[in-house]
Amino acid sequence: MTDRTLRILFAARDDKWDEYRPYLTRALSETGLEADLSRDHPAEEVDYIVHAPNGGLSDFSGFPRLRAVLSLWAGVEDIVGNDTLEVPLTRMVDPGLTEGMVEYVTGHVLRHHLGMDAQIHGLDGEWTGAAPPLARDRKVTILGLGALGAACADALSRLNFDVAGWSRSPKDLDGIATHHGEDGLAAALGHGEITVLLLPLTRATEGIVDAGRLALMPKGAVLLNPGRGGLVDEAALLDALGTGQIAHATLDTFRTEPLPKDHPFWTHPRVTVTPHIASATRAPSASRAIVDNIARAERGQALENVVDRSAGY
């Protein structure tokens, strides 16, 4: 561990500085790190950068002492290809973010499983008496089995849903039928009466849910996308909604955000729009995660949640 005061640069929007400063300061104090946290350290003195891509800093070439960049965001597609970044980049894995995603996904899977929209919007005097199946008879697929996807798959499995998952590389999760590779993707999509997208956005996953993949899903399936807007071919999804191949889409992320007011998703009767609220990084727990990672590096240990630049996440 260094015997001098660390210089930590906070490179995010003004409102995030006001939100994070007290929690980062407290975590640094509790961890025992001698550190000076600021928004305006001279570049040549900076040891670590706490970074958000919308904070304005995109050129990392003028930081000769820089040891790592720690992202405030779980998604790193806006920085991973930055050629000026030559030090390790870590992505945010925050217990609060994970809990929020599990709650969002579980809530909307249950909503669609139970057919709650019909009751909420009114049955128009029709006493149908049709009960939904039990969770054990409902097939759910999770595309993406990283920290968020695995946590959501586990929560749904514990509720007794028949859960399958797909990831780029093989994964082994208790109670989950896991798939990988192109054949595995077809099997996972064919399983999901409700499919949840929690993949990272990379060159390999851009537009992965296209017309062909939508056609592999069971007729009348439901699509949930709290992951990345770029995973979905929006025109193909609208077509699939029009034919009834997809019965409903609940979408939290979009290719353009905020979603333009004239976008057809807003008024489509079988689309639910939520404004990128599925989960958020919580300053208290995220600050602790960032400081704990810096402390690991200062003890000579490997950083956690380092981004594989070649894979894109």
Catalytic residue annotation: 228, 276
Count of residues for the chain? 313
Q: What are phi and psi of 221, to 5 degrees?
A: -70, 165
State how far the Cα of 277 lies from the Cα of 253, in Å rounded to an integer. Answer: 9
CA angle 186, 220, 158 (to 5 degrees): 70
Two structure tokens written together for 200: 């990272």
**Please, which residues bridge with residue 90 across strands?**
70, 306
Please name which of 70, 72, 67, 79 lies closest in space to residue 52, comparing C-alpha atoms.
72
Please name which of 100, 101, 103, 161 lies closest in space to residue 136, comparing C-alpha atoms.
161
State how far the Cα of 9 lies from the Cα of 302, in Å rounded to an integer. Answer: 21
Q: What are phi and psi of 230, to 5 degrees?
A: -70, -5
Alpha helix positions (H), the chain: 14-31, 95-114, 116-121, 147-158, 181-191, 211-216, 234-243, 283-298
Name 38's Cβ contacts closer than 8 Å, sequence gap at least 6. 7, 8, 9, 10
Q: Percentage helix, strand, coil, to 5, in the chain?
A: 35, 20, 45
1 half-sphere exposure, CB direction, 13 A CA radius: 12
Helices (H) and strands (E) in the chain, counts: 8, 12
